[in-house]
Amino acid sequence: MKIKYSEAWCLKMADLELGNEVGAGVFGLAQNVAKDAEYPTMHSSTIPFGRFVKLMRRNKRLTIEKLAEDADIDLDELIEIEDNAGHVPEPRTVYQLAQFFEVPTNNLMQVAGLSSTRDERLVNESMKFAARSDTLAPLSPEEKAALEAFVSILGRK
């Protein structure tokens, strides 16, 4: 069997690729995943999401390895979420974390930058939360209160 492509089809496909970087294998994919993701991002930064995950993990006294195991998510991605503010998490990972932390998936997707829905109240509260939290020290009473307040806002529908 021979597959034939018309000249028009080839030109159309070439136009679709115009301006894109060429890459192959894992490295080629890694370059384009964030740019070409099928889901819109509402922020270029996911600082509130990473801080939320780290503080919830610390609040539950879990190691990063234990959280990855218990939530059934990839350890490498969890490390990226907590340490890399520019990392765009996988939707499945956000879903698993929402289930584990018992918060509404849609709201956590929004905080992670994976939702086209934009609730200004949630955006503002997530930025305030990120600004008030120090991710390296043990949870202070103020951080614990801020985390609990943010979780209650996140839990609203």
**Domain harbouring 104, CATH code:** 1.10.260.40
Number of domains the chain is built from: 1
Is pLDDT at 94 greater than 90 in this prediction? yes
Residue 101: its pLDDT value, please? Answer: 93
In a domain, 149, yes or no: yes
CA distance 117 to 133: 25
Mean pLDDT of 131-157: 70
Indicate whether 135 belongs to any domain: yes
Burial grade of 31 (CB within 10 A; 0-12, 13-18, 19 or more):
middle
pLDDT surpasses 90 at 33: no
Looking at the predicted structure, is the pLDDT value of residue 36 above 50?
no
* Residues of the chain above pLDDT 90, percent: 22
Q: Is residue 35 part of a domain?
A: no
2 found inside a domain: no
pLDDT of residue 133: 58
Least confident among 33-37, 95-99, 101-105, 147-151: 33-37
Task: Provide the domain limits for residue 69.
Answer: 47-154
Whether 106 is in a domain gets the answer yes
pLDDT for the residue numbered 135:
54
